[in-house]
Amino acid sequence: MSSVVKLPTPTQPPYRPGDELPPELYRQAVEQADLAISITDGAANILYANEAFSRVTGYAREAVAGKNESILSAGNTPREIYSGLWAQLSSGQGWSGRLINQRQDGSQYVAELSITPVMDGEGNVSNFLGMHRDITELHALESLVRNQKSVIESVVNLAPVVIALVDQEGRVVLDNLECKKLVTDLGVPEPALALLDTAAPNWRDTLVKKSPANGFSGREVRMDPAGRSQPRWFSCAALLVDVSNQKADGYFGAGASAHLLLVASDVTALRVEQEKARTAALQALMAEEERVASIRESLSAAVFRLGEPLNILRSAVALLERRDPATAAILQTALSSANEHAETIRQCIPAHGPEHVTAVNLNEVMRDVLEVSTPRFLAKGVVVDWRPSLTLPSVMGRPLQLRVLFKALVENAIEAMSIKGWMQRELRILTQYGSDHVAVRVEDTGPGVAADMRLKAFEPFVTTKGGRGAHLGTGLSRAQQIVANHGGMIDLESRRGGGCSVRVELPLDGDPL
């Protein structure tokens, strides 16, 4: 009887999950892989190379068998790369990196190589598995991008304009040298954001809403750096640009975000010239306004002061009407005539000239006032400490009236400090703004104002200077009138360290009379 030995049936294709795969399948997979694969002994002598290895290196498989991998070396890879490679392999770890290889025909290529040590049964490195591919094209592309980046960076840095790219979170992700210079020039950590905040206060919403129509151009921004005699002007433009997501989840185009590209050119030189011409014209205009205002004040004072004797005369007529009608009639004639003259004088009081309401920047107004008051500061030895807010939203107002208002406050301050022998003569002017208003503070180091005068000082013809000569006491009442016409508030108080402080607050959404 013959016994039949049943041999295990070898696994046949098609293989299913869980099947033990035959070594031949592994061999074929390596053979047909698209990567150049080689297996070496422990000293890098080639024992096996696949088809792709021949395709990439140009060497026939028979030609490389037994040769060292170093036949691929083009001789221009830095030595330390090889020593690093071998140090890593000697410690039993794999290595991956880039080398310059040479094909059989002498042409060179950049190889991206990965070497894995293969352990024997005792855990010792017996062989190495090398896999590499030709990444010359990728290297060319990377170099192109790097070169273009450095050319673009040079152009952007050399450009005589401010350039900055701001991401959706409002962070500056790129800025050029001109932009960086503004950090010290303007005294702000992020000049690009300061420019955007002023040119387009709602730019953050614009970015979030990502509407392509929301770019802008030609918006002029004025910056008033503290401690500098000149403001700076910039003409700003901004453009929304789509920036693709560099993370893995952005590979198929998802997650692109809108960035804002800001370009601002410094137009200060041009504006300084325009300002010179404007200031000269303004000086003449203000001088005329002041002349008319002083006539207005003198005549108003005359009418006001005439009121007192006329009242006495009126009482006298009433008293004498029954007792001495003849005298009363004479007095009545005199009274009527005096009233007529008073009325004539009243009609001679010049009316305010028409002035349009426009958007007014109070930094600009204050600079103009300081400019025209410079001769007075010099004459009276007053030191000016000008502390503007770097940027200031505009208020709606009558530009000339506002200049007259602040000039009157500055004049008052100079007058207050012009006391014989008074040593400390310092004028400090600050501008600030809140969510609904802009405020200007005019502070002096004069004798200050007594508590009982704080409100009285705003009444017409009230003066702390004796009411004679040039001081009619109408300055503060006129100032208050202008502030009231602009829907604002004016407040007068003594400063803690001495001197007087006047604060004017004007609303951002004002609608002047």
Site size toward ligand FAD, by CB under 6 A: 21
Orientation of helix 475-485 relative to helix 399-417, angle to 10°: 150
Q: How many whole angstroms separate alpha carbon 88 and alpha carbon 125?
A: 12
Determine, following the binding rule CB under 6 A, whether residue 90 of this chain makes contact with ligand FAD: yes
What does the per-residue mask of binding to ligand FAD show for 131-170, with x meaning CB under 6 A?
-x--------------------------------------
Q: How far is the CB of 249 from ligand FAD (least distance, A)?
A: 34
Tell me which stretch binds ligand FAD (CB under 6 A): 66-74, 254-262, 361-369, 473-481.
66-74
CB nearer to ligand FAD: give 101 or 445.
101
Q: Name the residue whose CB lies closest to ligand FAD.
A: 130
Determine, following the binding rule CB under 6 A, whether residue 82 of this chain makes contact with ligand FAD: yes
Q: CB neighbours of 506 closer than 8 A, spacing ≥ 6?
A: 362, 395, 397, 437, 438, 439, 483, 486, 487, 488
| Burial grade of 504 (CB within 10 A; 0-12, 13-18, 19 or more) | buried
Determine, following the binding rule CB under 6 A, whether residue 70 of this chain makes contact with ligand FAD: yes
Please name the amino acid found at residue 54.
Answer: S
Of the residues 49, 110, 130, 198, which one makes contact with ligand FAD according to CB under 6 A: 130
Cα angle vertex 116, ends 115, 117, to 5°?
A: 120
Please name the amino acid found at residue 182.
Answer: L
For residue 112, list its beta bridge partners: 98, 133
Q: How many whole angstroms separate alpha carbon 385 and alpha carbon 223?
A: 17
Of the residues 49, 53, 69, 300, which one makes contact with ligand FAD according to CB under 6 A: 69
Q: Are 349 and 389 in contact (CB under 8 A)?
A: no
Of the residues 33, 48, 73, 167, which one makes contact with ligand FAD according to CB under 6 A: 73
Determine, following the binding rule CB under 6 A, whether residue 111 of this chain makes contact with ligand FAD: yes
Q: How far is the CB of 124 from ligand FAD (least distance, A)?
A: 13
Q: What is the dihedral of CA 446, 449, 455, 458, to 10 degrees?
A: -40
DSSP collapsed to 3 states, 31-94 = HHCCCEEEEEECCCEEEEECHHHHHHHCCCHHHHCCCEHHHHECCCCCHHHHHHHHHHHHCCCC
The gap from C-alpha 231 to its chain's centroid, in whole angstroms, comes to 15
Determine, following the binding rule CB under 6 A, whether residue 50 of this chain makes contact with ligand FAD: no
Of the residues 37, 49, 64, 113, which one makes contact with ligand FAD according to CB under 6 A: 113
Determine, following the binding rule CB under 6 A, whether residue 363 of this chain makes contact with ligand FAD: no
Of the residues 101, 198, 214, 300, which one makes contact with ligand FAD according to CB under 6 A: 101
Determine, following the binding rule CB under 6 A, whether residue 315 of this chain makes contact with ligand FAD: no
Binding site for ligand FAD (CB under 6 A): 38, 40, 43-44, 68-70, 72-73, 77, 82, 86, 90, 99, 101, 111, 113, 115, 128, 130, 132
